[in-house]
Chain A
Amino acid sequence: MNTTTVLLIIHGLLAVALLGAITHQAVSIWAPARKPAGASFIARARSVPGTTYGDAVVVLYLLTFVFGGIIYADYRIEVRTVVEQLGLWSQNGAFELKEHFAAVGLGLLPVYWYYWRQPLAPEHARTRAGLTTMLAFIVWWNFLVGHVLNNIRGFGS
C-alpha cells in the first residue's frame, strides 16, 4: 500500500466523520424533534443538539480539505488522465465542481464558526441554517463525487 493510498483512506475516514457531523446538525435545524426523542433511529437523530457540532465541523472540514489537497496532485496525474482518456466527461466535471465547492466552503468556515458559538444568538438562526445547509450540500456532493471517482480508479487499480 503506497503513501497516497494511506492518505486517501484517511481523507475518506475524515470525510465520513464530517458527513455525520454536518448531517446531524442540518437535521437538527430542518427537522428538529418537537418532543422527547422516541426509540426510533430517526427520532434520536432528530433530537441531537446541533450546537455541539460547530467546532467539530470546522476541524474536520479543515483536516479533510488538507488531506484532499495533498492527494490531489496524485489524482491529477493518476486518475484524471484516465478519466479523460475514458471520455467520462460528466464524472470529470463533477470532480471539477468538487474542488471549487470545497474552496467556497473553506471561505465560509470563519463565519460559520462564529455564528455557531455558544450561546447562540436567536436573531442569527437563519444565518446558521443557511451556512449549515450550504456546508451540508458541499460535503455531501464532495463525498459522493469522491466515492464515484474512487470507484472508477481508486485503491489498487
Chain B
Amino acid sequence: MTPSSRFPVFAIVFGIVFAVVYVIAVEKNFALFTYHPAIGAFGAGVQEGKDGPAMYWYGWLATSGIIAVVAGALASFLPASVTRALKPGWTWVVGAIVMAVFVWLLRNFFLR
C-alpha cells in the first residue's frame, strides 16, 4: 500500500494532538460519552454512574481521536513550506512527556 504524500503530515499531527488532547480530556474529564458497565448502556457526555461505576475511558478516546483526525486532516492540506518544519520524532517525544505527566497525575496511587 502506498500512502498519499500528505500522510506523514497527517500521522505526525495526529500522533501529537492525540496524546496532548487525551491527557487534557482525562484531567478535565472531557469524555464524549459515558459507559455504564453495570447496565451495559452508553450516555452522551459525562454522566454519573448508573447502578454502578461510570466509565469515561472510551469517551476520552473518542474525544481525542476525533480532534486528532480533524487536526491531522487540516494539517495535511497546509502547504509544504509550512509542514516541512514538522519532525516525526516529535511524536514519540510528546508521547513520552504525556506518559510522564500521567505518572505524576497518578502518583498518589503509589505513595499511599
Contact B106 A111 (CB under 8 A): no
Contacts of A130 in B (CB 8 A): 89, 92-93
Contacts of B64 in A (CB 8 A): 103, 107
Contact B109 A89 (CB under 8 A): yes
Contacts of B3 in A (CB 8 A): 114, 117
Contact A100 B102 (CB under 8 A): yes
Indicate if B30 sits at the interface (CB-CB under 8 A).
no
Contact B109 A103 (CB under 8 A): no
Contacts of B33 in A (CB 8 A): none
Query: Would you give the shortest CB distance from B42 to chain A, in whole angstroms?
Result: 11
Contact A96 B98 (CB under 8 A): no
* Chain A interface, number of residues (Cβ within 8 angstroms): 38
Contact B58 A77 (CB under 8 A): no
Residue-wise, chain B 93-108 has the 8 Å CB interface mask toward A (1 for contact) of 1011011001100101
Contacts of B73 in A (CB 8 A): none
Contacts of B77 in A (CB 8 A): none
Number of A-B contacts (CB under 8 A): 108
In B67-112, the 8 Å CB interface with A consists of: 68, 88-89, 91-93, 95-96, 98-99, 102-103, 106, 108-110, 112
Indicate if A124 sits at the interface (CB-CB under 8 A).
yes
Residue-wise, chain A 97-114 has the 8 Å CB interface mask toward B (1 for contact) of 101110111111011011
Query: Would you give the shortest CB distance from B59 to chain A, in whole angstroms?
Result: 12
Indicate if A127 sits at the interface (CB-CB under 8 A).
yes
Indicate if A8 sits at the interface (CB-CB under 8 A).
no
Indicate if A93 sits at the interface (CB-CB under 8 A).
yes
Contact A76 B92 (CB under 8 A): no
Indicate if B37 sits at the interface (CB-CB under 8 A).
yes
Contact B38 A134 (CB under 8 A): no
Given contacts A76-B55, A90-B109, A92-B109, contact A107 B88 (CB under 8 A): no
Contact A96 B109 (CB under 8 A): yes
Indicate if A49 sits at the interface (CB-CB under 8 A).
no
**Which residues of B are interface residues toward A (Cβ below 8 A)?**
3, 7-8, 10-12, 14-15, 18-19, 22-23, 26, 35, 37-38, 40, 52-53, 55, 57-58, 60-61, 64, 68, 88-89, 91-93, 95-96, 98-99, 102-103, 106, 108-110, 112
**Which 4 interchain pairs have the tightest Cβ spacing?**
A93-B109, A107-B18, A110-B11, A130-B92
